[in-house]
Amino acid sequence: MGQDLRVEPGTKVDLKDYDPDYTGKYRSEQDTLEELGKLKEKLFDLQALMYADNRYSLLIVIQAMDAGGKDGLIRSVMSIFNPQGCQVTSFKGPSDEELDHDYLWRIHHVIPRKGEIGIFNRSHYEDVLVVRVHDLVAKDIWKARFDQINDFETYLAANNVVIRKFYLHISKKEQEERILKRLLDPKKNWKFSAADLKERNHWNDYMDAFDDVLTKCSTKQAPWYIVPSDKKWYRNLVVARVLVETLESLNMKWPEPSPEVKELAKKAQLTGKLPEVP
């Protein structure tokens, strides 16, 4: 799409080099609607194929600053998935039970089963982001977690969990406009918290933390994508395209029917009616 989105392993990321308002060849939402519609139809069909194939699961990790568009992306693109085979998990501050386990326990607990899709709204990366920015754990602890997370994701990938991670990249100005709209809209201001404003004071610290995450934890098995997200419609198109390309690359197949079913199908084709079974 013009601007490199996938972070190749070994790439030193500086988010200042990525334009959050980039839209490639597209100039308006109208330019993307037809393509996005076709991609969503493909996603619907590919989910059904993955469920039938039952060899892989898909884990979608979404990270962003506050008001970065995580909920909107899930609503706009991933609502196409059949909810019977798709689970969205939102990770907030850990509960007392979760604090009594290692930090990856609550993550592993909700990894999708084979044939299913899991969507993480925030994720295990909070344990190298929030804890770092707010000094919740010592530096040597959160620094060690980069390798731990890579090992964890490598283990998942070895067990046919297909991982795609998306950082929704917005500008500080765009965030300000979105938070202001949220504050002024009676239908949305229930989502507003004064903490959102306090977190803005740490913008530069978060950018440094995300630079490290994207640099250290984009691997062949679990790549990060930096998605320009000032324009929501372009964000939706990018993510839908990546997901379609990912699922199509798996070479999934519909299961072969049993000999009995093949025989019954042959009879139905000849008669145009449901065959009788003795």
pLDDT digits over 134-157, tens only?
999 999 999 999 999 999 999 999
d(CA 196, CA 143): 26
pLDDT at 194 over 90: no
Domains detected in the chain: 15-271 (3.40.50.300)
Question: Which has more pLDDT, 17 or 194?
Answer: 17
Strand 161-169 relative to strand 86-90, pairing: unpaired
pLDDT at 198 over 70: yes
Residue range 103-114: average pLDDT?
97
Measured between alpha carbons, how far is residue 17 from residues 130, 133, 164, 168, 210 in Å?
23, 22, 22, 15, 13
Mind giving me the DSSP string for 184-199?
A: H-TTTGGG--HHHHHH
22 in helix, strand or coil? coil
Residue range 196-215: average pLDDT?
96
The pTM of the full predicted model, rounded to 2 decimals, is: 0.95
pLDDT at 2 over 80: no
Percent of the chain clearing pLDDT 90 (strictly above): 92
pLDDT at 77 over 80: yes
Residue-level pLDDT at 1: 45
Strand 224-228 relative to strand 161-169, pairing: parallel
Residue-level pLDDT at 18: 97
